[in-house]
Structure 1
Amino acid sequence: VAGSHSTVYKDPMILVGPENLTLTVHQTAVLECIATGNPRPIVSWSRLDGRPIGVEGIQVLGTGNLMISDLTVQHSGIYVCAANKPGTRVRRTAQGSLVVQAPAEFVQHPQSISRPVGTTAIFTCVAQGEPPPQITWLRNGQILETSDHIKLKNNNSTLSIYGINQADEAIYQCLAENSAGSTQASARLTVLWADGLPSPPQSVRAETVSATTIQVSWEKPLQNTKEIIGYVLHIRKAADPVEMEYQEAVSKSTFQQLVTDLEPSTSYSFYIKAYTSRGASKASEVTVVSTLGEVPAMPSLFIKVINSTTVQATWEPSIKLGQHEGFKLYYRKVHLSQYTGPVLLASNITAYNITHLDASVVYEVKLLAYNQHGDGNSTVRFVSLRETVERTVLNPPCDCMKDEQNNKTSTTGIIIGIHIGVTCIIFCILFLMFGYRGRLLMCKNVQEQLSTPQIPRSQRSATGLVLNGATRRDRDDRDLNGKQLDMNELERLFPASPSQEQQEKGITSAHSLSAPHDETQISTLPLDEFSIIEEQPDPLPKNPHATSPAAPAPNQGSANEG
């Protein structure tokens, strides 16, 4: 459409990013960040390590440049410039590093000192800076060279001068420097020399007595010997630094000293000083001598039986006395005089297997260490393989597969047995529960059959039940569903023989005497032998031959169930 204005959106883009800068403290750093885009991006700054940039001395110039004034070492780091599109998360970043250096400066300056002749002087010089400065010592403006009595320690921050003399008196300078600058400090060493001090002891000699002992002898000084109160012997391994030196005091009348507890085949240096109440003399000449070598000490030996024909010898070399070059191993049967061996073994070997032995005898095993000075003392052990043979016979190898199968079978049988037992217990419990319930139901039915309703005598029926001869009143008409037994019909269907009739009459008469008709007796006999009798309401005249007044009439019939 003519006259319409179109808007072109552009993502942010950084045209100029921050450069890598290396500056010194107290300077000012400017980190550039020029970005473009539509709409105009928002420029922000951060540190890559996540630390806050801070606000003191921090200023944003124009649309994005970062200026840091009065730089310190803590300002060093990587700075990130971010150009953000407003209202979105679209952004572009650029980064640059800032390194702030600090010139060397002293934390501790060396101090001037005065020391008597023969003592030790120590100077300390500690400096800091970024990067850490290097320390160099000078003597009267010249680089100081180290020697046996001049040592530098702790990254050259400590200068030690042992056994000082007049030649050591000078100005000592400490120079600390790094890429940001340098600084220096100086101190003077004054050597005190008292008039009348003795001259150095003369003719110092050292003689080797043994592998661990050296005897040192000397002669008294040539000058000023009257005030001598004693001597001090300085001892040090030739390979050790001066600070590892140690001393032994000797009386003024003694001109020799036996130095013990030394190491074999080791070089030692010795010198002597004479002491007075005012100070020490200069050091005598240094003499160096070595102790004698010595054969190695006995190693620790252990024997282990491997099988009926093999034993293993293991050992640990002794750290005492002389060094060993190797080992010699011997073994023999105890009843023989000749050894088998020696078996030569290198110094780094500590185990050896002796094979093809006779299991029926006892063996002697001997081990010793040797070096260029000879063989050391041996360590002896005795070993018997007989017990191993007996154990092998008494405990033959087992058939592991068979035992495993047997164990599996036994375990399976145990599990099956447990399951069967649990099942049986469950069935027994169920059987007892249902059996008890059935018995309760049966007893209830029997009780219902045997129970007689308590009704008045006038309402009782004339019909009764005879249970094995016992008379029982029949239930009421409602229990018989209103039906009356037709005794004539029963007599017609089941005619009784004369003997049965006579027998029934006798039974009925007998029970009539013992139990009246209005009483009920419960029989304990089975219910299968019930007898049903119907009594007539109007009895016939009494028969003089009858045994019971309640005997039935001749035309009365009976029927037996079952």
Structure 2
Amino acid sequence: LIRGPHDSTIIEGSSVTFQCRVGGDPMPDVLWRRSANGGNMPLDRVHILEDRSLRLENVIPDDEGEYSCEADNAVGAISATGTLTVHSHPYLVIRPVPQVIEGIRDASFECKSEGRPKPTTFWSIEGNRTLIFPGTKFDRFETSNTQEGLTVLTILQTTKADNGLVVICSAVNSVGSISVRARLTVASQDDLPPPIIILGPTNQTLPVKSVVALPCRAVGNPTPIISWYLD
């Protein structure tokens, strides 16, 4: 074996080549394998080059693992292994969404990031350079992590002055970064439109002991609470 594969770390979506240059008399046959615990060889994206190197196109995180070059002839056999590590840009699986609240109370925004290596997630407020990391507090803003992996920003005791506030969830790793914004709307009772019943019950005449269904669907902000009364 003149030159075997080396460990490689690449970014998702790019290509990688594992070398396997061999010599011998007679010339050895070359076979590429993927380690048993790494899954199947992605044959639709694999090419064997003229020098018997292995080229893997459009790499994905599932391609991580060990790739072995095995050479053998009538005299003997030899092998060498290279490990592939795939890094990917951070992305948000849960994004903060705009919040509309009424009165003086706490408001919370949720965010969850993934990527390779694992991203660092933090919050900031538009117009303010302070970064708020999980487990820290800045003024009335505090952050925490949940067991489900969420990073939560809580704004304590919001007031009318917080109306229009924009919070930013950011995730960063060695490959790149991503940021998503969400706006807080603080409304008083007078600012909010009344709920609207979009599907209400209608008069019905039925036989005794029969079953009746009375629909009621309503929309509004905040979401209305539906109650039934017998007159």
Q: TM over 0.5: same fold?
A: yes
Give the aligned residue type for 2:167: Y
User: Aligned partners of 1:191 and 1:73: how far apart in 2?
Assistant: 42
User: Aligned partners of 1:150 and 1:167: how far apart in 2?
Assistant: 14
How far the C-alpha of 1:29 sits from its partner, in A, is 0.9
**Are the counterparts in 1 of residues 104 and 159 from structure 2 also a CA contact under 8 Å?**
yes
Which residue pairs with 2:23 in the alignment? 36
Q: What secondary structure does 1:114 align onto?
A: strand
Give the aligned residue type for 2:35: L
Matches within 5 A, 1:81-480: 81-86=69-74, 90-141=76-127, 142-145=129-132, 146-147=137-138, 149-154=140-145, 157-169=151-163, 170-193=165-188
Q: What secondary structure does 1:74 align onto?
A: helix
Q: What secondary structure does 2:27 align onto?
A: coil
Report which of the two has the higher share of helix.
1
**Are the counterparts in 1 of residues 46 and 56 from structure 2 also a CA contact under 8 Å?**
yes
User: Aligned partners of 2:60 and 2:3: how far apart in 1?
Assistant: 25
Q: Deviations over 1:246-265 (max 9, x none)?
A: xxxxxxxxxxxxxxxxxxxx
Q: Cα–Cα, structure 1 residues 176 and 112, in superposed 2: closer, same or farther, change >3 Å?
A: same
How far the C-alpha of 1:57 sits from its partner, in A, is 0.5
How far the C-alpha of 1:158 sits from its partner, in A, is 1.4
How far the C-alpha of 1:63 sits from its partner, in A, is 4.0
User: Aligned partners of 2:79 and 2:72: how far apart in 1?
Assistant: 9
Which residue pairs with 2:61 in the alignment? 73
**Are the counterparts in 2 of residues 111 and 187 from structure 1 also a CA contact under 8 Å?**
yes
How far the C-alpha of 1:194 sits from its partner, in A, is 6.0
1:22 aligns with 2:9: yes
Q: What secondary structure does 1:56 align onto?
A: helix
User: Aligned partners of 1:133 and 1:144: how far apart in 2?
Assistant: 15
Which residue pairs with 1:527 in the alignment? none
Q: Deviations over 1:493-513 (max 9, x none)?
A: xxxxxxxxxxxxxxxxxxxxx
- Segments of 5+ residues of structure 2 without an aligned counterpart are 191-231
Which residue pairs with 1:56 in the alignment? 44
**Are the counterparts in 2 of residues 136 and 156 from structure 1 also a CA contact under 8 Å?**
no
Moved over 6 A (4+): none
Q: Deviations over 1:1-20 (max 9, x none)?
A: xxxxxxxxxxxxx1111122
**Are the counterparts in 1 of residues 112 and 150 from structure 2 also a CA contact under 8 Å?**
no
**Are the counterparts in 2 of residues 43 and 63 from structure 1 also a CA contact under 8 Å?**
no
User: Aligned partners of 1:35 and 1:56: how far apart in 2?
Assistant: 25
Give the aligned residue type for 2:169: C
User: Aligned partners of 2:161 and 2:126: how far apart in 1?
Assistant: 12
- Segments of 5+ residues of structure 1 without an aligned counterpart are 1-13, 196-562
How far the C-alpha of 1:159 sits from its partner, in A, is 1.2
User: Aligned partners of 1:182 and 1:144: how far apart in 2?
Assistant: 14
Q: Cα–Cα, structure 1 residues 120 and 66, in superposed 2: closer, same or farther, change >3 Å?
A: same
Give the aligned residue type for 2:152: T
Q: What secondary structure does 1:79 align onto?
A: strand
User: Aligned partners of 1:147 and 1:133: how far apart in 2?
Assistant: 22
Q: Cα–Cα, structure 1 residues 180 and 147, in superposed 2: closer, same or farther, change >3 Å?
A: closer
How far the C-alpha of 1:25 sits from its partner, in A, is 1.3
User: Aligned partners of 2:138 and 2:15: how far apart in 1?
Assistant: 47
How far the C-alpha of 1:105 sits from its partner, in A, is 1.1
Give the aligned residue type for 1:151: E
Give the aligned residue type for 2:33: S
User: Aligned partners of 1:71 and 1:144: how far apart in 2?
Assistant: 33
Q: Cα–Cα, structure 1 residues 191 and 15, in superposed 2: closer, same or farther, change >3 Å?
A: same
How far the C-alpha of 1:117 sits from its partner, in A, is 2.9
How far the C-alpha of 1:48 sits from its partner, in A, is 3.2
> Aligned residues: percent identity?
27
User: Aligned partners of 2:56 and 2:29: how far apart in 1?
Assistant: 20
Q: Cα–Cα, structure 1 residues 39 and 144, in superposed 2: closer, same or farther, change >3 Å?
A: closer
Pick the structure with greater CA Rg. Answer: 1
User: Aligned partners of 1:122 and 1:140: how far apart in 2?
Assistant: 16
Give the aligned residue type for 2:155: I
Q: Deviations over 1:35-89 (max 9, x none)?
A: 0000001111122344332311111111420011111001111211111114x6x
- The number of residues matched between the two structures is 180
**Are the counterparts in 2 of residues 104 and 183 from structure 1 also a CA contact under 8 Å?**
yes
